[in-house]
Amino acid sequence: MLIPLLRSGVLYMIWRRHIKQRALGIIATVLFVLAVNLIHSEALAFFSATDKSTLAPFAFYFRWLAWLAAGVSYLWFVERKIAKTAEAQRNASSKKNQPQNKPKAEPIEQHDGFDSLRHNTPLRSRADIMLERKKRDKPD
């Protein structure tokens, strides 16, 4: 009973660490290879039906080139991206573990969300405007 649990745990760890990141790239590459094989078989059937068997070697060349392109594109788009994210995580963890020289602690202002309102110009009421007008109009 313990062995199936261990196997499923190992399979889960393999899925989580290796396959989950690459699943979409693997599926896309496999579908591309299957499409290339289908096109290749159709091309060979067409060449044999039209008596153009001299073009059959080109179909094989293009199939191998397409397979090579699928492999290179998988490596370029999937594995390179995984390597970059792993490198970034390593750099982030190494920076986190290094002791940092902290600058001299300065008192931090307390912000309670109303700072922008405190520093605005005060609102003037109608009475304030009338008093200001009287002061302006009043001769000295």
pLDDT confidence band for 35 (50 / 70 / 90): very high
The answer to whether residue 18 sits within a structural domain is: no
Mean pLDDT of 107-113: 68
Asked whether residue 83 is domain-assigned, the answer is: yes
Q: What is d(CA 23, CA 135) in angstroms, rounded to the nearest whole number?
A: 79
Instruction: Please indicate, yes or no, if residue 116 is contained in any of the structural domains.
Output: no
| Domain membership flag for residue 4 | no
The answer to the question of residue 34 being in a domain is yes
C-alpha distances in Å from residue 45, one per residue of 9, 50, 57, 90: 47, 9, 13, 52
Q: How many domains does the chain have?
A: 1
Residue 82 maps to a domain: yes
Nearest 5°: phi and psi at 67?
-65, -45
Mean pLDDT value across residues 49-66: 91
Identify the domain containing residue 41 by its residue range: 23-96
* pTM summary value: 0.55
Cα separation, 21 vs 19, whole angstroms = 6
Most confident of 59-68, 79-88, 95-104: 59-68
The whole-number pLDDT of residue 138 equals 80
